[in-house]
């Protein structure tokens, strides 16, 4: 009895000392650090025009109209196919599931840890008076009683790791959807350019054939034929380059979809489709920011677990030894006792690990600030590109109309009146073709810029009415 009292007294003194040390030195970690610049917003609408529908207003009717828009239906279906086909998304989903299972791995440490061991009869080498035919079995049960919150902190750490993996799954879906739609829009752009280039090739071929007949009657105009043939070759080269570009894009989208995409020829990639729903989104709710928050909390929980591991860990030990002997009274009884383990000195490695975790958490906070600024800057740059492209496309639309009239006038003055040189006609044809190309490129540039705004603001899947995959924590 005096031994038990002495042991309990020493155990209580040890725990009391550890408690005093812990209370006087345990740091406090803030897991919810506010993000500066939380008022930064992504300006989703292209213009604040009258009649633009806001989400706070009649958004249901606006979205119903959006869902019957052929362009939106095409974008929605294309994104859906890519999300179901993507191996990258399946990999991210599997990673999230794996991280979820690690939570139960840590939770299992809270319960009794049962270890059963058994030894076979041993063979004596040499003379021995001991009975070596004994078969012994040992049962050892260790149950954590008090660990200063170490296991709880480790569970929280794994939960935040799972949250980060889950958000990474969402980010991967956003990325895949944006990439496949960008490819589809680029393919539509190149096909539009090929259409106008085909018309340009036909026009140059028509002029070459016309001049060939003229040169047969008037060999002195052979230089004009040479000029037209040069323009014809340039037109062929432009078309070949566009066809090569189209092949590259089709290969790229095939990797994301598993098949070539069918784009209806009557689809108009007009940026006005994005104005049908106009909303402002807080960038602090962007998945990348939420993931940084989860990673920060994970690092803080890791620091808390490391801090708790520096203090005595109290366990309940239950052991039982059984010996297969002829005399049952030699079997050992169940032994129950408390065990205190304390790594009192490790050369400063434990405190260094804790400080490293704290610095990692601080680094994540700085990373979060960088992510927010990058998102805001990318959205502003895309807005500027979109607005500039829309403004210039209006100018080039007028320029296309004017250059069409100029080329027609120059041709008539050259062919019927002889007041213009062929070089003037060829120049007018080239100007008209180049203006058409620029007008098409500007329209698609504006569309892609607005698509990038939705992607960078985390609104693309929502706008496409696609429910992102999400692993729930039961």
Q: What is the pLDDT of residues 137-163, one digit of tens each?
A: 889 999 999 989 999 999 999 999 999
Query: How far is residue 304 from each of residues 68, 265, 335, measured CA to CA in Å?
Result: 53, 60, 34
d(CA 128, CA 459): 81
* Number of C-beta neighbours around residue 443 at 10 A: 22
**pLDDT the model gives residue 114:** 92
* Residues 6+ away with beta carbon under 8 Å from 14: 312, 340, 342
* Number of C-beta neighbours around residue 317 at 10 A: 13
Bridge partners, residue 450, by sequence:
none
pLDDT tens digits for 375-432?
999 999 999 999 999 999 999 999 999 999 999 998 888 877 777 788 888 899 999 9
**pLDDT the model gives residue 53:** 31
d(CA 62, CA 283): 24
Query: How far is residue 192 from each of residues 185, 439, 447, measured CA to CA in Å?
Result: 11, 11, 14
- On the question of pLDDT at 458 being above 80, the answer is yes
- In order of their start, the domains of the chain are 42-119+134-463 (1.20.1600.10)
241-247: average pLDDT: 96
Query: How far is residue 354 from each of residues 159, 293, 306, 308, 360, measured CA to CA in Å?
Result: 19, 19, 6, 10, 10
Q: With left for phi above 0 and alpha for psi between -120 and 50, is residue 319 left, alpha or beta?
A: beta
Strands (E) in 147-299, as ranges, are 280-282
Mapped onto helix, strand or coil, the DSSP state of residue 116 is strand
Output phi, psi for 117, to 5 deg: -130, 150
pLDDT band at 222 (very low <50, low <70, confident <90, very high): confident
List of long-range contacts for 396-404, beta carbons under 8 Å, 24+ apart? 396/435, 396/438, 396/439, 396/442, 397/439, 399/435, 399/439, 400/432, 400/435, 400/436, 400/439, 403/428, 403/431, 403/432, 403/435, 404/432
């Amino acid at each position: 009895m005096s031994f038990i009292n002495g042991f309990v007294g020493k155990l209580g003194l040890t725990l009391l000392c550890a408690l005093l040390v812990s209370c006087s030195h345990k740091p406090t970690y803030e897991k919810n650090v506010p993000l500066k610049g939380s008022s930064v917003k992504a300006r989703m609408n292209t213009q604040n025009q009258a009649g633009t529908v806001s989400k706070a207003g009649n958004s249901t009717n606006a979205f119903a109209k959006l869902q019957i828009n052929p362009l939106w239906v095409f974008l929605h279906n294309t994104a859906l196919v890519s999300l179901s086909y993507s191996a990258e998304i399946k990999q991210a989903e599997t990673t999230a599931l794996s991280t979820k299972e690690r939570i139960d791995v840590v939770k299992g440490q809270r319960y009794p840890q049962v270890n059963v061991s058994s030894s076979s009869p041993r063979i004596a080498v040499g003379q021995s008076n001991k009975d070596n035919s004994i078969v012994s079995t040992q049962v050892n049960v260790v149950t954590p009683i008090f660990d200063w919150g170490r296991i709880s902190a480790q569970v929280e750490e794994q939960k935040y790791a799972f949250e980060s993996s889950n958000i990474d799954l969402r980010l991967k879906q956003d990325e895949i959807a944006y990439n496949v739609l960008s490819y589809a829009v680029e393919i539509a752009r190149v096909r539009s350019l090929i259409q106008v280039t085909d018309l340009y090739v036909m026009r140059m071929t028509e002029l070459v054939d016309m001049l060939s007949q003229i040169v047969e009657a008037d060999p002195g105009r052979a230089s004009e034929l040479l000029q037209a043939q040069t323009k014809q070759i340039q037109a062929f080269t432009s078309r070949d380059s566009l066809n090569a570009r189209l092949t590259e894009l089709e290969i790229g989208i095939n990797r994301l979809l598993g098949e070539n995409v069918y784009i209806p020829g009557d689809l108009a990639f007009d940026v006005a489709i994005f104005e049908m729903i106009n909303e402002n989104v807080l960038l602090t709710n962007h998945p990348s920011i939420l993931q940084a928050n989860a990673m920060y909390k994970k690092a803080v929980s890791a620091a808390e677990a490391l801090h708790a591991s520096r203090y005595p860990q109290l366990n309940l030990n239950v052991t039982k030894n059984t010996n297969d002997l002829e005399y049952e009274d030699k079997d050992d009884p169940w032994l129950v006792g408390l065990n205190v383990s304390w790594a009192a000195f490790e050369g400063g490695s434990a405190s260094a690990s804790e400080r490293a975790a704290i610095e990692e958490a601080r680094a994540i906070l700085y990373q979060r600030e960088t992510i927010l600024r990058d998102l805001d800057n990318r959205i502003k740059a895309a807005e500027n590109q979109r607005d500039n492209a829309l403004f210039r496309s209006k100018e080039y639309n007028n320029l296309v109309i004017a250059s069409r009239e100029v080329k027609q006038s120059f041709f008539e003055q050259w062919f019927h009146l002889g007041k213009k040189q062929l070089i003037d006609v060829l120049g007018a044809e080239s100007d008209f073709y180049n203006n058409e190309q620029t007008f098409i490129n500007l329209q698609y540039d504006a569309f892609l810029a607005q698509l990038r705004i939705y992607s960078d603001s985390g609104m693309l899947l929502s706008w496409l009415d696609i429910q992102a995959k999400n692993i729930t924590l039961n």
